[in-house]
Structure 1
Amino acid sequence: MKIHPKHILAKSLILSFCYLAFNCTQKSGNESDDNSEATDDKSAYYTDEDFGKISKINTHVHFKVYDTTFIAQAKRDHFKLITVNVNSGYSPPIGEQQGLAVKLLKAYPNDLAYATTISVKDFNEPGWAQKTISYLDDSFEKGAIAVKIWKNVGMELKDAKGKFVMIDDPKFDPVLDFIEKSNATFIGHIGEPKNAWLPVDKMTVAGDKNYFSEHPEYHMYLHPEYPTHEYIMAARDHMLEKHPKLKFVGAHLGSLEWDTDTLAKRLDLYPNMAVDMAERITHFEFQAVTNPKKVRDFFVKYQDRLVYATDETVNEKTPIDVYSKQAHENWLEHWKFFTSSEKMKVADVEKEFNGLRLPKTVVDKIYRTNAENWFSLEKFK
């Protein structure tokens, strides 16, 4: 039977229409391949507007003077704070710091918590451990929820023989046991960023370049006679092995800030370890320049072990109203990095990077519930 050319044309038109209709349907169904934000559930993500509405905890700030301006800014931004005492040469005596923390705690019982610290001044004297435990017992009675150890252990403190003292030294064991039995958290600023062992021009972020240029005493590249980064980290790991039930928060990403894979290995090995992000978020941003997916996947996988912190220090050097404004802008920048997928540029990182656009469930843990759990912050719940 001969088919009329008009019938062939009609059939071709029908087939073409069906093909186009099918492809349009397929494109609509797979649109997320080209633009995931167009079809994903936006209710699962926060926006910039949510920053001032969501309850958050900043687990690492320092008050060196009594002031309410910074706390007022934190309250406006829906932040509760943990002020951390520290046994450093830049800080007031630890008893004075504790007195200030207790005064702030009484004034703002629902907005503030505090971490005490310990002195290693008399570490080589008999009775140091018992004296330290007595001080901590008094601190806990006054409301301390955690204990901070500083980088002078491992990088400055020496024993009677002139050898550098590491955090796994047996003299620390009874003190750490007491912290554990008191259900307090041990915050460890152990070591420094790996950048400290590099020349300034090889460092990855501007903040480290500035800090170690201004503080050559901690620029380990200039002090090859000091312990290596690997040695200090190994001592910290040994301490965790000896005290597997001690709640430990590694300050400043546990000094493993340069590589999410290296940090992940420690978190896998030590389930009693979390890390705070104080002054190290730029290292995540630096890694996001080249591999944002890897950084995002790390946050999702270890969402229960990452605690928001910034390390602002309230002192007399900068007018508090100016400093509070700077802190607000810093907090907003962090929020954008965690919650959006936008291109970003910050002062500390040379190149642009994308935000991580983490789900609400992960953001809530980073900003609030992890802090509640790792620091037993029942009063903030």
Structure 2
Amino acid sequence: MEKTGNRNLVSESEAPMGRKSAVMMAIICSVLLVSCGTESDDNSNGDGSGPTMKGDRILGMAITEAESTDYDIAVDIARGAGIEMIPLSVQWDMIETAPEVYDPLILTVANMYYPARDLNVALSINPLDSNNKRIPADLTGLPFNDSLVIARYCAMLDYAFSQIPDVELVSLAIGNEVDIYLGLEPSRWAEYEEFFIATKAHAESLRENLDIGVKATFYGLTDYSRSNLENLNAAADVVLVTYYPLNGDFTVKDPDVVHDDFEEIVAIYPAKPIFFLEAGYPTSDSCNSSEAKQAEFVREVFDAWDTFYDEVEVVSFSWLTDISQVQVDEFALYFGITDERFKEFLRTLGLRTYEGAGTDKQGFTAFVEEAEARGW
């Protein structure tokens, strides 16, 4: 998924099936009057038990706002809880609004805002966003491996990177949850693989030592698109995962599946770093969930991360705050899914509530405690 349910956001597709644009109008409309520890090299607690210190791991969160707060306040809350990174997801056709005509606003605001707040960014520039194709309108009839499509994406990357010279990037994703759009059609996968290899090579020339990959769902990576994604990820620097442990009817799986799920993906990709760029769990009773279950999920993620310390380098939780019903309906329309459980899943993903200034759920309390115990 990827929409940040921000009420000013036109999209983060950071819905488990996609997010249109991870922070967008939230940043643009936020007040830009911002103020701009050392850690031990020992990543254990000394006796081999309990939490593992953070070390070089990176903790992130998708920022969403409560009803009566602004983006600055939301960032302050998340920063106070220990996060170092935010996911920023932008669609290709939001940057290139007409052939070789670019809109700088989102990127230039990001370049002003996030370095000043000492936040790194996991950037996605999406030709695919879950079940949506987000390429410029004049290219829509062409396959992804067409030379013009590749050239135009590379030119757009040139422009995009020229607008964010000060942003410290954790990673670049060339597409969000691409397995959902590509489905089970071998020709689509072959075309996208060619596109990815070519555009990744170009992106490498724009920023040194940048980890580049493609975001895919956990169940695509481990089940229905496993072989296709193994082929695609062979060319990637990192495995980029969106993780929402759900059943097919949008009810939650028990939080105790987390450890086995981490173990499964590490076994599939033992030689590549793994970034969980979205990890979320709703609280709605319509999804057979609760605040207590979400809190248990948060603790299970931190515990599994300790177990797979060397393999999993990044975890980013979705979202800070629940979203409004208006946003839910917009996201459901975008994804073309009207199932009420899906809507409740989206609405209650936050670790804090939406109404008023928002209040902490048990999941946020668990997040703060687990992060602090590891030195964040």
TM-score, structure 1 as length reference: 0.49
Compare the two structures and name the one with the higher helix fraction.
1
Compare the two structures and name the one with the higher strand fraction.
2
